[in-house]
Structure 1
Amino acid sequence: MSQVRDDRLDAGLLRLIGVTLLGGIMGILDSTMVTVAADTLAEEFHTTLSAISWASTGYLLALTVTIPVTSWAVGRFGVKKLWLFGLTLFLAGSLASALAWNLWSLVAFRVVQGVGAGVVDPLVLVILARAAGAGRAGRVMGMMGVVLSLGPVLGPVLGGVVLESLGWRSMFYINLPIGIVAVLLALRVIPAGVPAGKKSAARLDLLGAVLMAPGFAAIVLALTEAGERGRLDAPSVLIPLIGGIVLLVGYVLHALRTRRHEPLIDVRLFSSRSFAASVTVQGLVGLATFAGLFALPLYYQVLHGHGARAAGLLVAPLGLGSALAMPLAGRLSDRLGARSLVRGGALVAALGAVALTRIGPDSSEVWSALAAFAIGMGLGGVGAPTMGSLYRTLPPEKVPQGSSVVYNLNQLGGALGVACVALILAVTGTGTGPAADLGSGIGGFRSVYWFVCAVAVVIVAAASLLPGRPETPDAAPDDASAGDEPGQTPAGERREEHGASPTSPVS
């Protein structure tokens, strides 16, 4: 009888994972699909590529600003209502973007999309972490990681196919049937998250929102500008960077002093060694991943003369390696803990990066693809155990805040990775046109992958701060009533060696 009950719960969890990822994948794909349409949009609206970049930048900034507020709204409105609101807003922005009549209407509607994605994206983690419980956190995060790994790789490829076959408006129309199905399924499958009469009465930390959300957005904007310009000393980089740092320092001081209400993000969570190490490692994974995803297409285009579509397909092994490694690493982490798996994954990524420092203009694409596959596998072996570790050590009520921190640091890590690659290539004099100097070009790309190797080495060092082997055997939750979500485990069910207890954020 017990076995039947466990199977039924597992089937329900799989349905929940599928429905949640169906809703979440749209934002992941959409954030990268539009980048391949820059030339087409510039011609359509008779403007410059610099102006068109605001269609992507506006989306990214809106997403970044919204994520911190979502962590508060989960307790106030419940997961299901918030999820449906975010999906509906994203679909409305998609439809409006497809109907845009000029550049600035497109930018405005992309901002609406970004707000919807800023609600949905962190909720993916909240829903799955609560439903999985401590005993299955690694496995569920590994399954989610498949989508997160393939999204940035498949987005440009899918965008190129849709753009050439159906036109740029179809890149937004394609969200509508997927989104409608996601909404209909969510009505049946997504749990409410806040029982009737138990919604949080906590007021929104308005001052915290005014400090933190624009602070993160300003830093992302600065890093994006640095990536586009290949320099740090431009006013468009320095002004938002300094402003963002000042705002975030102000938020930290505010959060430490506030007593009247709970801050958006409790900065005392970082006093937990496990939490601080987990979110730091996750940010470094984003940095290394986006550095690789940004540099590899340039390598194939500049030094091998491939077109954008072929270059995009040749980058796919990086995402494929990560997608294959994440489910296995996540499952193993539920039994072995995060520390040893993260070390092993980071070492594999470092070896793959070292292999890419040996490539040249005449190197076979097979070798660079294999090296990229190794980097992807290594980073996938880091990502899923780290995420599982994070959610095993967070108190259930802090899961929305933890998700907000993870997504914001991942955004910063990705933007920093692109900016670092652009700066390295600019310093080494790497060209991007047909007349590029191959000697200086290959030196620049090799420097990029020495940088990726250095990031992997830092992850190896940080792994010692992650939790080790769990003290108790893996156990799936028996009763959906254990928490607010089906499958949520009670706080304190499980502890890990040298990590924070699930009942306390402080190790």
Structure 2
Amino acid sequence: MTAKGAKPPSVAADAGQIDPALRRLTYTLIIGALAVIFDTTIMSVAIDGLAGQLHTSLSTTQWVTTAYLLALSATMPAVGWAQSVLGGKRLWIAGLGMFFIGSLLCAGAWNIQSLIAFRVVQGIGGGTMMVLMFTLVMQAAKGRNIGRVMSLITVPTALGPVIGPVIGGAILHLGDWRWIFLFNVPFCVVGGYLAWRNLPEDGPRPGTRPRLDTVGMLLLSPGIAAVIYGLTQLSGSDGLAGLTVALPLIAGVALLAGYAFWALRRGPDALLDIRLLRHRALASSSALVFLTGAALYGTMLLLPLYWQQVRGESALGAALLLIPTGVGTLLSRTLAGRYMDRFGSRSVAIAAFALTFAATVPFGFVTASTSNIALMAVLFVRGLGLGGAMIAITGAAFVGLEREEIPGASSISRVAQQVGGSVGIAVLVMILQRATAGAHTPAALASGFGEAFWWSAAFTAAAVPLCLLLPGRPSPEPEVQDTVFAGEPTEA
């Protein structure tokens, strides 16, 4: 049974074409997801402006981002269970609705404390949507044209880091900070209507009442949140020795270790079945997604800071200089998807990470007078590599999985990216602070940024040998309709 006007998506008989129903489902999810992606990236340039307009300290205002990030990460592990209870369509609309309500509450916040609290509401909705988006698309694709499907569903990921900061800079330059959150409203309204109209009904099977793994929830979600919180505090002067870093990191690792023992005993009834990592494709993909999160988010923090602190650019000017990255990412998606379907994710990922590494190395030599034109050209090439890498490794996570395993794999992959991004930002900020300590001239600052960029290049280089573990050339046809991909064996 489907909603009015909605048909269960399938993949067209022609192996080179995506079925229109699947394409419609994908675009429906993208509209709603753009609200989450833009909101996250807009905030990357808005913190300093928010501190001034709300008349509070920068350290307090930083909690606007931290609270959202913690809620987002803590929600992700439970999305698979929530989908089994509500069904994908209902859960997507519920997550989008919560993000919509959170956006309105944030826009109406009367002080910094209320804004931080309302960001938690946004984070719960956003975390649900980010996991569920990949789950629904992969379940609908049924193993065909994974690369092409990924080239569509990663549109928000490609657009957000580039367009978001530009929008954020323009909003703060021209208007009130509340428009940062009101900007989400049209995407939520249109996305909600399209979801009600286009997503197929897929409620839980009659007679099944999945139980929430309460113990797992109390171990895993706080564990992830504690680790990420500790990483966000790593930029302090005491580094790892500081109590605000060490205590949450130790507590988080202990909780995650406890969850690992619990999940291995509980098996498929665990909140998140970590035994899925026995699939080589998912395990290697998750490791690569972690490294890519570090390379992508960490470097996207360094680049605008370089232009602002060393070159004297405004927030909006720095954001505009980042546009070539997004252009390159968008241009490489379609080609990377086609080659992945033809040659497998392994060869595409190796080529893409090698290109990304080659385009990151020049930033290790930046000075206070390096040509912006040359840097923008390098960023375009880096965007080409990043776009191809994300298509290959994200799609590889679902190779060889059965339909019922997809929600767990999606949660594992998204959590790996989130934690990887937090690690990348924390490590690179700490390196940058130490490298620029006592630097008072643009030349000295540029030298410190160059050192941090070398570390970013190292993250990227570390990914290349891991790509050898990804699946190779796929079989022409999947053997089972509900198996995501029938390529080479994926057992570790």
TM norm structure 2: 0.93
What one-letter code is carried by the residue in structure 2 that aligns with 1:53? Q
The residue number in structure 1 matching 2:3 is none
Whether 1:384 and 2:375 are equivalent positions in the alignment is no
How far residue 195 of structure 1 moved from its aligned partner, in angstroms, is 5.7
Of 33-42 and 400-409, more deviation after overlay is shown by 33-42
Whether 1:495 and 2:486 are equivalent positions in the alignment is yes
SS of aligned partner of 1:382: helix
Residues 430 and 437, structure 1, Cα contact 8 Å, conserved in 2: no
**What pairs up with 1:298-317 in 2 under 5 angstroms?**
298-317=305-324
The residue number in structure 2 matching 1:42 is 51
The residue number in structure 1 matching 2:101 is 92
Question: Residue 45 and residue 209 in structure 1: after superposition, are their counterparts in 2 closer, same or farther (change >3 A)?
Answer: same
CA–CA distance in 1 between the matches of 2:237 and 2:383?
27
Of 88-97 and 376-385, more deviation after overlay is shown by 376-385
Residues 333 and 385, structure 1, Cα contact 8 Å, conserved in 2: yes
Specify which of 447, 452, 459 is matched with residue 448 of structure 1: 452
Question: Residue 182 and residue 367 in structure 1: after superposition, are their counterparts in 2 closer, same or farther (change >3 A)?
Answer: same
**What pairs up with 1:122-137 in 2 under 5 angstroms?**
122-137=131-146
Misfit runs of 4+, over 6 Å: 3-9
**What pairs up with 1:219-368 in 2 under 5 angstroms?**
219-227=227-235, 231-258=239-266, 262-368=269-375
Whether 1:72 and 2:63 are equivalent positions in the alignment is no
**What pairs up with 1:110-121 in 2 under 5 angstroms?**
110-121=119-130
CA–CA distance in 2 between the matches of 1:143 and 1:360?
37
Work out the percentage of aligned pairs sharing the same amino acid: 36
How far residue 228 of structure 1 moved from its aligned partner, in angstroms, is 6.2
Whether 1:206 and 2:240 are equivalent positions in the alignment is no
Residues 78 and 272, structure 2, Cα contact 8 Å, conserved in 1: no
**What pairs up with 1:15-26 in 2 under 5 angstroms?**
15-26=24-35
CA–CA distance in 1 between the matches of 2:75 and 2:117?
15
Question: Residue 406 and residue 335 in structure 1: after superposition, are their counterparts in 2 closer, same or farther (change >3 A)?
Answer: same
Whether 1:438 and 2:442 are equivalent positions in the alignment is yes
The residue number in structure 1 matching 2:403 is 396
CA–CA distance in 2 between the matches of 1:459 and 1:34?
28
CA–CA distance in 1 between the matches of 2:440 and 2:31?
42
Residues 146 and 327, structure 1, Cα contact 8 Å, conserved in 2: no
The residue number in structure 1 matching 2:423 is 416
How many residues are matched?
482
Of 238-247 and 44-53, more deviation after overlay is shown by 44-53
The residue number in structure 2 matching 1:486 is none
What one-letter code is carried by the residue in structure 1 that aligns with 2:95? G
CA–CA distance in 2 between the matches of 1:305 and 1:40?
17
Residues 428 and 456, structure 2, Cα contact 8 Å, conserved in 1: no
Output one character per residue of 1:484-505: Cα deviation in whole Å (capped at 9) or x when no partner: xxxxx723474223x42xxxxx
CA–CA distance in 2 between the matches of 1:438 and 1:165?
29
SS of aligned partner of 1:232: helix
RMSD: 2.3
CA–CA distance in 2 between the matches of 1:345 and 1:230?
37
Whether 1:82 and 2:73 are equivalent positions in the alignment is no
Residues 349 and 376, structure 1, Cα contact 8 Å, conserved in 2: yes
The residue number in structure 2 matching 1:193 is 202
Question: Residue 84 and residue 230 in structure 1: after superposition, are their counterparts in 2 closer, same or farther (change >3 A)?
Answer: farther
CA–CA distance in 2 between the matches of 1:221 and 1:234?
13
Question: Residue 37 and residue 457 in structure 1: after superposition, are their counterparts in 2 closer, same or farther (change >3 A)?
Answer: closer
Where does structure 2 lack aligned partners over 5 or more consecutive residues?
1-10
Output one character per residue of 1:415-451: Cα deviation in whole Å (capped at 9) or x when no partner: 11111211111221257xxx73334322222222222
How far residue 312 of structure 1 moved from its aligned partner, in angstroms, is 1.1
Whether 1:461 and 2:469 are equivalent positions in the alignment is no
Question: Residue 30 and residue 38 in structure 1: after superposition, are their counterparts in 2 closer, same or farther (change >3 A)?
Answer: same
The residue number in structure 1 matching 2:191 is 182
CA–CA distance in 1 between the matches of 2:33 and 2:113?
26
Question: Residue 426 and residue 203 in structure 1: after superposition, are their counterparts in 2 closer, same or farther (change >3 A)?
Answer: same
Specify which of 469, 472, 476 is matched with residue 472 of structure 1: 476
The residue number in structure 2 matching 1:481 is none
CA–CA distance in 2 between the matches of 1:396 and 1:4?
18
The residue number in structure 1 matching 2:4 is none
How far residue 376 of structure 1 moved from its aligned partner, in angstroms, is 1.9
SS of aligned partner of 2:381: helix
Question: Residue 262 and residue 41 in structure 1: after superposition, are their counterparts in 2 closer, same or farther (change >3 A)?
Answer: same
Of 146-155 and 236-245, more deviation after overlay is shown by 146-155
What one-letter code is carried by the residue in structure 1 that aligns with 2:465? A
CA–CA distance in 2 between the matches of 1:394 and 1:492?
6
SS of aligned partner of 1:226: coil
Of 274-283 and 164-173, more deviation after overlay is shown by 164-173
How far residue 98 of structure 1 moved from its aligned partner, in angstroms, is 0.7
The residue number in structure 2 matching 1:166 is 175
Question: Residue 320 and residue 42 in structure 1: after superposition, are their counterparts in 2 closer, same or farther (change >3 A)?
Answer: same
Residues 153 and 293, structure 1, Cα contact 8 Å, conserved in 2: no
What one-letter code is carried by the residue in structure 2 that aligns with 1:281? L
Residues 222 and 237, structure 1, Cα contact 8 Å, conserved in 2: yes
What one-letter code is carried by the residue in structure 1 that aligns with 2:412? V
What one-letter code is carried by the residue in structure 2 that aligns with 1:403? S
CA–CA distance in 1 between the matches of 2:40 and 2:336?
27
TM norm structure 1: 0.90
Specify which of 360, 374, 379 is matched with residue 381 of structure 2: 374
